[in-house]
Amino acid sequence: MNCLHMLPQLRELETQFADELVVIGVHSAKFPEERVTTNIREAIRRHEVTHPVVNDANMIVWRQYNVYAWPTLVLIDPEGYYVGHHAGEIPAERLAPVIERLIAEFQDQIDRRPLDLTIEPPPPTPFAYPGKVLPDPEGERLFVADTNHHRIVVMRLDAGGTVGKVETVIGRGVPGLDDGSFEEATFNHPQGLALLDDTLYVADAENHALRAVDFSTRTVRRVAGTGELGWAAQRGPGTGVALNSPWDVVAVRGMIFIAMAGRHQIWAFDPATGEVGPFAGNGREDLVDGPLAHACFAQPSGLTTDGRFLYVADSETSSVRRVDLDGGRVETLVGTGLFDFGDVDGRGRMARLQHPLGVAWADGLLYVADTYNHKVKVLDLNTLEVRSWLGSGQPGWQDGSRQAARFYEPGDMKVAGDRLYVADTNNHAVRVVDRRTGEVHTLRLRGLERLVPPDVVAEVRLPPFTLAAGTARFAVRVELPAGFVLSADMFSRLEVQSESGDVVRPRNARVLLSTEGPTPVEVETRPGTAFLVLDLHIFACRKGAEALCLFHRARLRVPVHVVVGGGEDTATVVYQVPLKS
């Protein structure tokens, strides 16, 4: 978390010194799963890192620079010599004067040519790294923190709970801290969700804020946090107190409890008074039990409750903690310390987890999103026995029974009756589990068109073709990635416009894309040259598992030559969809 706090500071410096400063990230991992290049690549995309990153899997660079803390910043001059370092978080404005002095000293030696770096975007899936989920008490609606799309998606569930129809999208889908209507509001990487009466509370993580969603007025407002990263633990009126990476929230006894991951504390917000402040933890990153004010947490990232206790996924200690709301004490159920982790079933502190991010209580059991082990585990609160319940332990995407199923860094799960909903973060999906059988399915989506970002359009210029004057036809053939077919749940369509209607005039401005072959379009033609503009709206799903769907929009510009006594009666336009399976 401390390293994540430095990313916006580094972006600020990269912008301020765009021609002089190069940032190189060195990823020296603590957890085994963080040493795998594929997982680092996903983390770079998830956290939208724009500078090059070295995988220092064996901590060679770490040792060469005598690093002892995360994060550590090292300054190197244009000749490659060490200038100095800083361990821990530091705001950009404190580093800027040092960089300015170095620029002045090495004015003539700085290579100001721009670096040619390509940032790989995440795939255009309906969800982007969903962090947290929340079903309503009746199990009729499901709220999804669509984290990297900066919005909340509300779905109406079918009777079986395995199909969700998009009902409402809260937020414009761009990062920001705007209050207002559902259509006007903005979030910045939202995470945890909690319902209290008819208000949905959102842990707006990178805005360092708590937001309240009012469904009666269809508005969003900030109720805690200033929008700036808070360095001090203070209590006061919500919007005047700076928060620090709120990661999850839970409603109990009329209060909203907040997993303040960046402060290593549990905070509480009182909706009646608007006051917010620390509730448990002294702010030191560690695993220490005891009275609320003396206990230590380490990046608490998941919360749930049975009404008397708060249960906490304390990610940096790979532990599960329990906060007694009546007795005022913190107790560790699973986990032993900051550097004790693994994938071991067993009783209490004999068991091992690896960086869990979510917990869910139901019927005397605690479900744990064992994130870096790619599993869901179950903790029996009577015996403290921990057992692997879902997932093979290998990252991937696969439905099926219990340990045959695969997840990829699940970040959360919540219970609704006999169903468990899992935010399968790196798979960009929500999974549905039958708690009685352990059978895993991927949530199927209806109303996908409501999730398409309005500004994501690729414009492609295609080679010209020739048609005969009079009445002619052309066809559009869409070639999908291997393993994908057009969705049966959502209609893909083609919209046709002509920039010279006196040369080529479509008989139908909108047609559905054929699932059987090329899609024919009839046009009336006169001699001359025109540009056809073809807008494609494509919803493609993986064969045999249509819940895993991708969307794609493209604008094709095609020159058309119309001639008398020649040309073709039918021409075919081929478009290959650049989606990654």
**Of 301, 378, 299, residue with least CA distance to 333:** 378
464 in helix, strand or coil?
Answer: coil
Q: What CATH number should be reported for the domain holding residue 446?
A: 2.120.10.30
CA–CA distance, 464 with 458 (Å, rounded to integer): 19
Do 184 and 294 fall into the same domain?
yes
Report residues of the chain scoring pLDDT below 50. Answer: 546, 581
Do 94 and 146 fall into the same domain?
no
For strands 25-27 and 53-55, give the pairing: parallel
Q: What CATH number should be reported for the domain holding residue 464?
A: 2.60.40
8-state DSSP, 125: -
Do 412 and 533 fall into the same domain?
no
Q: Is residue 119 part of a domain?
A: no
Task: Name the burial class of residue 129, with classes exposed (0-12), middle (13-18) and buried (19+) by CB atoms within 10 angstroms of its CB.
Answer: buried
Q: Which domain holds residue 462?
A: 457-576
Q: Residue 44 is inside which H or E element, if any?
A: helix 37-46
User: Among residues 395, 424, 450, which one ends one of the domains?
Assistant: 450
Q: Is residue 124 part of a domain?
A: no
Report DSSP letters for 479-525, one per residue: EPPTTEEE-SSS--EEEEEES-TTTEEES-SEEEPPSSSPEEEEEEE
Q: How would you write 177-192 as a 3-class SS string?
A: CCCEECCCCCECCEEE
Tokens representing 329 are 């004490």
Do 372 and 503 fall into the same domain?
no
Q: Is residue 419 part of a domain?
A: yes
CA–CA distance, 88 with 317 (Å, rounded to integer): 19
Contact 48, 128 (CB under 8 A): no
Q: Is residue 292 part of a domain?
A: yes
Greatest alpha-carbon span in the chain = 92
Is the preceding peptide bond at 71 cis, omega within 30 degrees of 0? Answer: yes
**Of 399, 454, 448, 404, residue with least CA distance to 422:** 399
Do 90 and 28 fall into the same domain?
yes
CA–CA distance, 205 with 227 (Å, rounded to integer): 10
Do 444 and 468 fall into the same domain?
no
CA–CA distance, 384 with 275 (Å, rounded to integer): 35
- In one-letter notation, the amino acid at residue 406 is R
- In one-letter notation, the amino acid at residue 226 is T
CA–CA distance, 436 with 70 (Å, rounded to integer): 42
Please, which residues have CB within 8 angstroms of residue 10's CB and are 6 or more apart in sequence?
23, 51, 92
Do 195 and 51 fall into the same domain?
no
Q: How would you write 374-439 as a 3-class SS string?
A: CEEEEEECCCCEEEEEECCCCCCCECEEHHHCECCCCCEEEEECCEEEEEEHHHCEEEEEECCCCE
User: Among residues 450, 479, 498, which one ends one of the domains?
Assistant: 450
Do 437 and 336 fall into the same domain?
yes
Provide the domain count of the chain. 3
- pLDDT score at 118: 72
Do 253 and 363 fall into the same domain?
yes
pLDDT digits (tens, 9 = 90+) for 230-244: 888 889 999 999 999
For strands 180-181 and 329-334, give the pairing: unpaired
CA–CA distance, 460 with 466 (Å, rounded to integer): 19
Contact 39, 33 (CB under 8 A): yes
Do 296 and 409 fall into the same domain?
yes
**Of 156, 171, 165, residue with least CA distance to 202:** 171
Residues facing residue 54 across a β-bridge: 26
SS3 percent helix, strand, coil of the chain, rounded to 5, is 15, 45, 40
The pTM of the full predicted model, rounded to 2 decimals, is: 0.82
